[in-house]
Amino acid sequence: MAYLAGVDAMVTGTRQVVLAAMDGDKLLSYHETFAVGDTAYLSQLRVSDEALSGHMGGLLLYEASQFWRRSGLVKQLCTGPTTPARPGISGFETRWGLPIVMMPARNWSPRPFRAVLLAARPVACYRATGLPAPEPSPQGPLS
């Protein structure tokens, strides 16, 4: 199969892993991951329409995390931008057996602009820069 031959050529001799879900010869979904240093990055995830109802995306994310945990090659996972203020969305990741780390900064901006963006849109600032938003003040938003 051409897909498998291409994947084999891509990952041989690297710290990349591609997990695929197949139904016979039909590719339902795949997940590309790679490791740099002691961190595994769970990056590209593609799920076909027919695999959506079977929660294939979540299953492949979990299996990739378990592959890296069992390998002993990494000490932490990076799943991309998360929303720390909404733990219900990404809280399940903490049960995968490896610490989840914040995504490194993706964009640089001058400090004044970053301060304005952080004050106005903390989640957008995090997604743009990778810098965590400060914890809310117990005295309220104007303290």
pLDDT, residue 82, reads 61
The domains of the chain are located at: 2-103, 105-143
User: DSSP secondary-structure letter at 138?
Assistant: T
pLDDT, residue 88, reads 61
pLDDT, residue 140, reads 47
What residues in the chain have per-residue pLDDT under 50? 140-143
Of 67, 46, 69, 43, nearest to 57 by C-alpha is 46
Q: Which fold has domain 2-103?
A: Aminopeptidase (3.40.630)
Contact assessment for residue 81 and residue 127, using Cβ atoms and an 8 Å cutoff = yes
Using CA atoms, how far residue 55 sits from 26, 30, 36, 47, 61, in Å, is: 17, 13, 28, 9, 10
Using CA atoms, how far residue 66 sits from 6, 71, 120, 126, 127, in Å, is: 24, 8, 38, 27, 26
pLDDT, residue 70, reads 92
pLDDT, residue 119, reads 84
Nearest-angstrom CA–CA distance, 41 and 32 = 9
